Amino acid sequence: MSGAATLKEWTGAALAAPVAWLASIVNVPLKAWQRATGTGGMAAFFLAPNMAIFGIFVLVPLVINFFYSATSGTAYFLQDRSYVGLEQYRRLLDCGSYLDTATCREDLFWKAVHNTGLFVVVQVALMTVVSMITALILNREIAGRSFWRAVFFFPVLLSPVVTGLIWRWILQRQGLLNLIVHDLGGEPYNWLTDRFSAFTAAVSVSVWAHMGFYTLILLAGLQAIPRDLYEAAEMDGTRPARVFWRITLPLLMPNLLVVIVLALIRAVQIFDEVYVLTGGGPGTSTLYVTQYIYEIGFASLLRNPGLASAASILMGLVLVVLTLLQLQVGRRGERKGQRE
Amino acid sequence: MSGVVTFLTRRRGGRGWHWTDVVSWLWLFGGLVIMFGPAVWLVGSSFKTPAQLAVFPPTILPYVSQQAAVEGYDKPLTLYRVKLPDGSTKVLAEARRVGIVAQMVDPQAPNDIVKINIANRQPVREIGFATENYTEPFVHFDFLRYLRNSVFVTVMATLITLLTNSMAAFALSKYKFRGRDLTMLLIVGTLMVPLSVILVPLYSVVGAVGLLDSLWGVILPTVATPTGVFLLRQYMLTIPDELLDAARMDNASEWQIYWRIVLPLAAPALAVLAIFSVVWRWNDFLWPLVVLSRKELYTLQVGLNTYAGQLNVQWHYILAMTVVTMIPVVLVFVFLQRYITSGIAGTGLK
Amino acid sequence: MGRINLTNIDRAYGRMKILHDINLDVGDGEMLVLVGPSGCGKSTLLRLIAGLDRPTAGRIEIDGADVTDVSAAQRGLAMVFQSYALYPHMSVRQNLAFGLENIRMPKGEIDARIAEAARMLEIAAYLDRRPGQLSGGQKQRVAIGRAVVRNPTAFLLDEPLSNLDAELRISTRAELAALHKRLATTMIYVTHDQVEAMTLADRIVVMRAGRIEQVGRPLDLYNAPANLFVAGFIGAPRMNLLPVKVRSASGGEVHVEGPGELSAAIAADGSTLRPGDDATLGIRPHDIELSDGGKGSVEAQVTLAEALGPETVVHATIAGDNRLVAVLKSQGIETHGRPISLALPPKRMHLFDSAGLRVASR
């Protein structure tokens, strides 16, 4: 027993010692730097590594994306590309009718846009309802609440690839779903090769994978509602349905709006789990915008990084609008919180 | 025992069963099955042999067919429980199969061949685990390499994330300097810039700094997470400034203050960020997929997707590899789930 | 040695000026108490001395050496913080050792110093505990111990007692006084509590709105407050202040009249006063006596009498709206609405001119 403890201590010390030594070595030049520049210089030192990485890998790409979208060719380096102005945007937006993808020059892009639009609407609605119900149930006086909360949270941690593969395995011809169908007396069905069922699968799997996250936010909001409000309502003899509509829902509104906007932002970018699940198929029925950007930018034989870049900027604009919406919602929630 | 029952059936106000209680418990147990069922099914399936996987309807548990070495045959033969024409049943080994007719031999008397319609036999099975699904990929595929790559990416990215993010958060929470608010605005402003929006230019930037097709090209773009800086800064704001002043009076340099005072005190937030970072980097898919084109550099996620995308999908290996890929996340879930949920509830970040 | 000299210190945050032209000399071994209401700049001044903050203008010297631009670490001072600021992740021993390790003191000497401080402050029993496991009083001792082991030129104490409960505050106050006597090291002590200032200080510095109002020994401040602010701040209950009119002022005597037929001849230097001037008469509650009427007394209405046993605190009004508090040495004062006759001894009166400055006594 004590042997194990000392071993643990020993490994702890063995790991900590070189790190502490390194930190004390670093201290020597830094002390000189501090003496030379004062604490202002130290702030610069502490910020430098993070901001350098941040600048190179976030800010620079963000800026050159605009230049990128104004060039054509298959090369990836800006200097090897030729300037075409707004040609890529013209190409993306060239449509007889935006409702009919066949009339568009980039019909694949508009397919992806239509698919994403439908996906976002259905997925966000389903996500909100399912997370809301789960949060309401978890907020009741149930035994083992933290266990049940964990149950619904489990898939959130899974990698999209694992999620996609698990469900592909379940939905395939010899899969679990068909076993259930078979036991109920039905005919096995190839779920991922049918447009409608593939879409349904994409929506359901993404809700399955992420609902735990939104449930958590809603549950936190529900638990922040003071108990005495419910007790007061009970004293007044308010009916449960009325309590929900007049107390729970209005007080939960800030959290609910955050959940809806966050879910929207994520749904617009949907990619990995659906890509692994269906590969965008059958045909192009589950091709979404991010996959389009990936395919056109990197994977396809007819790759066109400029076009992908232009498409990503258009998607970015949608996300900016949604983010501003979120900030607005957040501020309203805050103001509401202050008033109460 | 009755205590457990009362505990499990405790309800609002201790009154009788209300219909909402029934709905709640149905929802919870339904949720339990739907949330864990797929993973359990995956684990179960991963222990099945390829032959087992091809059987429809699939069995819940993995079975292994019994085999026996029979004199005169090089390979062990699969055993079947056969219903003989005279109505008796006997365990025979399959020597050959032609169409729907199988030639069976008795292991005890290997010279007599009995021809049997395959409808009249059942394989002799017992629950068994095809562990070779797990051991084979390590030997014959690049699986071990992928695993090593994923571990390297996850560990390095998390360490760098913790160091750089905590340094930046320290500067942003404990110093007053010109441009601090601007820096903060910049970081918060890009909180919502997703990878897919800067995918193409990021690729060219990573190419320009010579990190294409290298694991560092996977690691570096992910480490300056605005989320991490934000989370740590919020936490460090709660560390009283007097503590830093006390350390300054104690002759500590600014670096020592960061290293010996602020970092240890921010340990809870660092733990949350570390857990998040491990899960994020382990699960990353799109960015490694774009950056890595040499097969030997693939991370697990990319490697798995590649295997699963092949024409001849070897499900028995893929399922086993998926289980292995899932293990670290399951460990995080089992042991550290509390930190994550409190982190999300506290900051609204994921 | 521990002489500290401040010359023309200014501190401004942007356009907000926190300190105005502070000049102060602290003698070696002195216990100097900075006192004033919150926001008066006393803590800022302490931080400037500590080196945790830099003055906008002015010079700080320690033992004759200019340290204005020297960092906190190199000034050789030690500070005790209001919140104690003990490192929560270190044991008491590590808390005491941290500063000494930073100057690379040999381990043996560190241990010796900690042992000495622990013995002196009686904290040896919990050297291996974390601050979180200590009571408020114990934390306070550790915070002082952390300063003591450094063997500093001077101690800076920022409201060190304000987080203790009333009883503990009194006993710790006494211990601090004893500690100062024993170490004979300069201490600069910031507080908003005038009782602490009176009991601990060799000299008190009264501050208001970034300016020094008065510097002096405790009893000098009590007996001869330089202005209305100091008069009101030092002493509890507060000095009574009554509006009066100067009737006549000669070289050695000022005759004033006030509410409730108050009339007094005060021995003061009236050379700056003219008859008809507004002035303020101050008298401490403890100096007021019960009288049986007649000359030199005022008639008041009792609004409340608080019998404390040895004394009775009488709240009264004179001529309607002039409030007066008197601490009387007798029991059985009639309460509520009863008239009472109070004697205000002219010898105990303080006179302030219309600008609020003390008119010097004669």
**What ipTM did this prediction achieve?**
0.83
Is residue B223 domain-shared with residue B197, that is, in the same domain? yes
Interface contact C82, partner B, CB < 8 A: yes
pLDDT by residue for chain B (350 residues), tens digit each?
Answer: 444 444 444 444 555 677 778 888 899 999 999 999 898 888 888 888 777 777 767 777 777 767 777 777 777 777 777 777 777 777 777 777 777 777 777 777 777 777 777 777 777 777 777 777 788 777 777 888 999 999 999 999 999 999 999 999 999 999 888 888 888 888 877 766 788 888 888 998 998 888 888 999 999 998 888 888 988 998 899 899 999 999 999 988 889 999 999 999 998 888 888 888 998 899 999 899 999 988 889 999 998 888 887 767 788 888 888 888 888 888 888 888 777 777 666 554 44
Residue B236 lies in a domain: yes
Give the H or E element holding residue B232: helix B226-236
Asked if C210 and C18 count as a contact pair (C-beta separation under 8 A), the reply is yes
Q: Which two tokens stand for residue B233?
A: 């800064």
Helix (H, G, I), strand (E, B) or coil at C267: coil
Rounded to the nearest angstrom, the minimum Cα separation between A79 and chain B is: 11
Q: What Rg do the C-alpha atoms of chain B give, in angstroms?
A: 30
Rounded to the nearest angstrom, the minimum Cα separation between A43 and chain B is: 5
- State chain C's mean pLDDT as an integer: 89
Cα end-to-end distance, chain B, whole Å: 40
Asked if A269 and A320 count as a contact pair (C-beta separation under 8 A), the reply is no
Quick one: CA dihedral A48, A50, A54, A56, positive or negative? positive
pLDDT(C277) > 80: yes
Among all residues of chain B, which has the CA nearest to that of C72? B249
Would you place residue A340 in the very low, low, confident or very high pLDDT band (cuts 50, 70, 90)? very low
Which residues of chain B lie closer than 8 angstroms to A315, CB-CB? 196-197
Return d(Cα C252, Cα C271) in angstroms, integer: 8
The b-or-e profile of C119-157 (16+ CB within 10 A means b, else e) is: ebbebeebbeebbeebeebbbbbbbbbbbbbbebbbbbb
Among all residues of chain C, which has the CA nearest to that of B255? C102
Is residue B208 domain-shared with residue B290, that is, in the same domain? yes
Chains that touch B (3 or more CB pairs under 8 A): A, C
Supply the pLDDT for residue C221.
92
Beta strands in chain A (DSSP E): 71-72, 82-83, 95-97, 100-104
Return d(Cα C62, Cα C50) in angstroms, integer: 11
Going by their DSSP bridges, the two strands C262-266 and A100-104 should be labelled as: unpaired
Which residues of chain B lie closer than 8 angstroms to A209, CB-CB? none
Q: What is the pLDDT of residues C244-275, one digit of tens each?
A: 998 888 778 888 888 877 888 888 887 888 88
Is residue B200 domain-shared with residue B88, that is, in the same domain? no
Whole domain around residue B106: which residue ranges?
64-127
Q: Which two tokens stand for residue B57?
A: 């309807």
Among all residues of chain B, which has the CA nearest to that of A178? B57
Supply the pLDDT for residue B148.
92
We report the CATH number of the domain holding residue B244 as 1.10.3720.10
Rounded to the nearest angstrom, the minimum Cα separation between C35 and chain B is: 20
Residue B310 lies in a domain: yes
Within 10 A of B177 (CB to CB), how many other CB atoms are there? 15
Interface contact B290, partner A, CB < 8 A: yes
Is residue B141 domain-shared with residue B241, that is, in the same domain? yes
Interface contact B188, partner A, CB < 8 A: no
Return d(Cα C174, Cα C184) in angstroms, integer: 15
CB–CB contacts below 8 A, A to B:
287
Quick one: CA dihedral B224, B227, B230, B233, positive or negative? negative
Give the H or E element holding residue A117: helix A107-138
Which one has a higher pLDDT value, C39 or B161?
Answer: B161
Rounded to the nearest angstrom, the minimum Cα separation between A6 and chain B is: 22
Supply the pLDDT for residue C241.
92
Is residue B152 domain-shared with residue B252, that is, in the same domain? yes
What are the CB-based long-range contacts (under 8 Å, 24+) for A322-325? Answer: A322/A261, A322/A264, A322/A265, A322/A268, A323/A265, A323/B192, A325/A261
Q: From the candidates B59, B190, B204, B205, which should be mutated to test the interface with A, based on the most A CB atoms within 10 A? A: B204
Whole-angstrom CA distances from C156 to B118, B288, B335, C161, C238 are 96, 57, 47, 13, 28
Domain C240-352 has what CATH class?
A: mainly beta
Give the H or E element holding residue B136: helix B132-140
Chains that touch A (3 or more CB pairs under 8 A): B
- Comparing A117-126, C41-50, C352-361, which segment has the lowest mean pLDDT? C352-361
Q: What is the pLDDT of residues A218-245, one digit of tens each?
A: 988 888 888 888 888 878 777 878 888 8
Q: From the candidates A58, A213, A275, which should be mutated to test the interface with B, based on the most B CB atoms within 10 A? A: A58
**What are the domain boundaries of chain C?**
4-233, 240-352
Q: What is the mean pLDDT of residues A243-257?
A: 85
Interface contact C28, partner B, CB < 8 A: no
Q: From the candidates C102, C110, C113, which should be mutated to test the interface with B, based on the most B CB atoms within 10 A? A: C102
Rounded to the nearest angstrom, the minimum Cα separation between B202 and chain A is: 5
pLDDT(C112) > 90: yes
What does the longest C-alpha to C-alpha distance in chain C come to? Answer: 77
Is residue B210 domain-shared with residue B153, that is, in the same domain? yes
Beta strands in chain C (DSSP E): 4-13, 16-26, 31-35, 57-62, 65-66, 77-80, 154-158, 186-191, 203-208, 211-216, 240-249, 254-258, 262-266, 278-283, 289-290, 297-307, 312-318, 322-328, 339-343, 350-352
The fold for domain A97-339 equals MetI-like fold (1.10.3720)
We report the CATH number of the domain holding residue B89 as 2.30.30
Supply the pLDDT for residue A6.
60
Would you place residue C334 in the very low, low, confident or very high pLDDT band (cuts 50, 70, 90)? low
Return d(Cα C240, Cα C349) in angstroms, integer: 10
Burial class, C261, CB count within 10 angstroms (exposed 0-12 / middle 13-18 / buried 19+): exposed
Q: Which two tokens stand for residue C251?
A: 């070289």
Rounded to the nearest angstrom, the minimum Cα separation between B266 and chain C is: 10
State whether B196 and A312 contact (CB < 8 Å).
Answer: yes
Is residue B109 domain-shared with residue B193, that is, in the same domain? no
Among all residues of chain B, which has the CA nearest to that of C73? B251
Q: From the candidates B175, B248, B251, B256, which should be mutated to test the interface with C, based on the most C CB atoms within 10 A? A: B251
- State chain A's mean pLDDT as an integer: 83
Interface contact B347, partner A, CB < 8 A: no
Supply the pLDDT for residue A330.
66
Q: Which two tokens stand for residue B48?
A: 């099945």
Residue B2 lies in a domain: no
Interface contact C358, partner B, CB < 8 A: no
Q: What Rg do the C-alpha atoms of chain C give, in angstroms?
A: 25
State whether C79 and B246 contact (CB < 8 Å).
Answer: yes
Would you place residue A337 in the very low, low, confident or very high pLDDT band (cuts 50, 70, 90)? very low
State whether A57 and B7 contact (CB < 8 Å).
Answer: no
Nearest-by-Cβ selection for B205 from A56, A137, A305: A56
Residue indicated by tokens 């046993």: C309
State whether A49 and B164 contact (CB < 8 Å).
Answer: yes
Which residues of chain B lie closer than 8 angstroms to A265, CB-CB? 192
Second CATH level (architecture) for the domain C4-233: 3-Layer(aba) Sandwich (3.40)
Burial class, C33, CB count within 10 angstroms (exposed 0-12 / middle 13-18 / buried 19+): buried
> Phi/psi of residue C340, each to 5°?
-140, 150
**Axis-axis angle for helices B19-46, A107-138 (nearest 10):** 120
Q: What is the mean pLDDT of residues A64-76?
A: 83
Q: What is the pLDDT of residues C184-216, one digit of tens each?
A: 999 999 999 989 999 999 999 999 999 999 999
Among all residues of chain C, which has the CA nearest to that of B245? C52
Return d(Cα B144, Cα B137) in angstroms, integer: 8
**What are the domain boundaries of chain A?**
2-68, 97-339
State whether B57 and A297 contact (CB < 8 Å).
Answer: no
Interface contact C139, partner B, CB < 8 A: no
Beta bridge partners of B122: B81
Q: Which two tokens stand for residue A232?
A: 């007061």
Chains that touch C (3 or more CB pairs under 8 A): B
Interface contact B259, partner A, CB < 8 A: yes
Return d(Cα B318, Cα B30) in angstroms, integer: 28
Rounded to the nearest angstrom, the minimum Cα separation between B262 and chain C is: 10
Supply the pLDDT for residue B346.
56
State whether B255 and A30 contact (CB < 8 Å).
Answer: yes
Which one has a higher pLDDT value, C311 or B64?
Answer: C311
**Count of structural domains within chain B:** 2
Last residue of a domain, one of B94, B127, B160: B127
